[in-house]
Amino acid sequence: MSRNPQLNEKGALQHLLTIEGLPREILIHILDTAASFINVAERDVKKVPLMRGKSVFNLFFEPSTRTRTTFEIAAKRLSADVINLNIATSSQTKGETLLDTIDNLSAMHADMFVVRHASSGAPYLIAQHVGSHAHVVNAGDGRHAHPTQGLLDSYTIRHYKRDFTRLAVAIVGDVLHSRVARSLIHALTTLGAPDVRVVGPKTLLPAGVEQLGVRVFHNMDAGIRDCDVIAMLRVQNERMRGALLPSEQEFFKSFGLTPERLALARPDAIVMHPGPINRGVEIDSAVADGSQAVILSQVTFGIAVRMAVLSILAGK
Amino acid sequence: MNLPDAEKLFEVLLESLRAHVTPDTGIVGIVTGGAWLAERLHRALGVQTPLGVLDPSFYRDDFSKSGLRHQVKPSQIPFDVQERSVLLVDDVLFTGRTVRGAMNELFDYGRPARIDLAVLVDRGGRELPVAAQYVGANIEIPPGKVLVLDRGPAGGLSLTLSDQRRRRLDIEGESEGKK
């Protein structure tokens, strides 16, 4: 069997491209390291010198605010130099190929690339191209994977629920277009969550999704009943082509998370959302702003998780 | 080589500190051995300031060479460092690099009035101009040997000497075993 392309010959993390196939020990190591970065934000000097002198290039071929900003903050709190490249407005529009762009940036001595791309697999291509000279972190590629989001969701769940091995987690909404859902499913099954459910209309669940080790529900009430964690997904209007959804109002009627529906889950259930939230489409404002929502904690934890990923990669 | 009883060295260290530590002193232990010692000193000396713990892994100078060596523990400094007298506690003082990292980290919490260093054993072999003000014992340890403080299930402290390098991350150990 060939080696996992994310791992080096010693079995340590060289690139972070997807959670799928990563050993449980590596996920736990990332979560534990993130925990030790949490209180850096509460100090006088919100920085540690781990990545002093290293250059991190944020390559965003697709727009993003939260992910790009939190990666930038994470790298800066590690004392790295951060260069943000908005490729949509740069040489690629002049016809340069992806790998030519990477070669040019490598010639500028980049140590790490954080890549967001609309095409699934683009970060793999870059990782193969740069080999062991630099590290690649996938910040979301097409419908494929968003590993740091899956990790920060796992961190959030562990923070509030402590133990994965007794949890029921419902992932609700547009699973078909969601790299967030795929990464979270792989993280949860690797970390030992026994009951992972996907909930959504047939048109928005990928065929064969149950092969990932999840239970499928087309009825929201049944899907979230007695759950410990409800992970809502964003309805991705910009990815929607054709008649997958009758209307936003209809989606909200069947799959929107309202206070009445939330009452079906366990009383101490937490509500997560990767943002940006569409109020009144997948989630009611009363829930998004309610006491069970941990959406803003996810953002805060996301910085520590990304610090953990960057520092573990940089140290190898 | 005969190693002294760690509990006796602890008593020596404790007595040397009595006249100098006040209830306002901020005691900070370096993980893991230093944190065990700091916990006991904090109790025995009746210090009012809450106990601090530092893991200077993020401040090490060999990070780009060795990565994160072990499971990093969160640092906790639950008091205001600004203008306070701080007592840094570690088990074994060797090259001085860990202490340098710990002092750098401490300064990211504020500017202490002064920092003193207390160690159970000073084994020599310094690579930086670092000195301990309070020492349980000076013991010559040959280079290449590792002196480690252990804590038993009942909390008793003991010293052991080994040839091995400090244990690497469990993950690496496992993957090496699989090969």
CATH number at residue B87: 3.40.50.2020
Is residue B174 domain-resident?
Answer: no
Average pLDDT, chain A: 92
Separation between Cα atoms, residue A273 and residue A284, nearest integer Å: 12
Is residue B96 domain-resident?
Answer: yes
A276 touches chain B (CB under 8 A): no
| Rounded percentage of chain B residues whose pLDDT exceeds 70 | 90
- Beta-strand pair B157-162/B146-151: antiparallel
Architecture of A147-299 per CATH? 3-Layer(aba) Sandwich (3.40)
Chain B neighbors of A308, CB-CB under 8 A:
none
Is ipTM > 0.90 here? no
* Substitution target from A43, A55, A190, A313 for chain B, most B beta carbons within 10 A: A43
**Contact yes or no for B108 and A26 at CB 8 A:** no
**Contact yes or no for A316 and B72 at CB 8 A:** no
Is residue B165 domain-resident?
Answer: no
Is residue B104 domain-resident?
Answer: yes
The SS3 assignment for A227 reads coil
Is residue B81 domain-resident?
Answer: yes
Confidence band of A93 (pLDDT split at 50, 70, 90)? low
Which range has the top average pLDDT, A1-10, B67-76, B125-134? B125-134
Render the burial of A141-166: b for 16+ CB within 10 Å, e for the rest.
bbbbbbbbbbbbbbbbbbbbbeebee
**Contact yes or no for B169 and A29 at CB 8 A:** yes
| Rounded percentage of chain A residues whose pLDDT exceeds 90 | 78
Q: pLDDT tens digit string along A239-255?
A: 565 667 777 888 899 99
Is 80 exceeded by the pLDDT of residue B52?
Answer: yes
Is residue B160 domain-resident?
Answer: no
Architecture of A24-145+301-314 per CATH? 3-Layer(aba) Sandwich (3.40)
Q: pTM of the prediction?
A: 0.87
Tokens 């007595």 -> residue: B15
Structural tokens at position A98: 């992806």
As for how many domains chain B has, the answer is: 1
Is residue B178 domain-resident?
Answer: no
* Substitution target from A28, A33, A77, A312 for chain B, most B beta carbons within 10 A: A33
A29 touches chain B (CB under 8 A): yes
Q: Evaluate whether A24-145+301-314 and A147-299 have a shared fold.
A: yes
> How large is the average pLDDT for residues B91-95?
96
The SS3 assignment for A196 reads strand
Is residue B175 domain-resident?
Answer: no
Structural tokens at position A238: 């910009």
Is 70 exceeded by the pLDDT of residue B69?
Answer: no
Element (H, E) at B91: strand B85-93
Tokens 């968003």 -> residue: A146
Residues near A10 by beta carbon (within 8 Å), at least 6 away in sequence = B172, B175, B176
**Contact yes or no for B108 and A43 at CB 8 A:** yes
| Rounded percentage of chain A residues whose pLDDT exceeds 70 | 95
Chain A neighbors of B59, CB-CB under 8 A:
48-50
Q: Where are the domains of chain A?
A: 24-145+301-314, 147-299
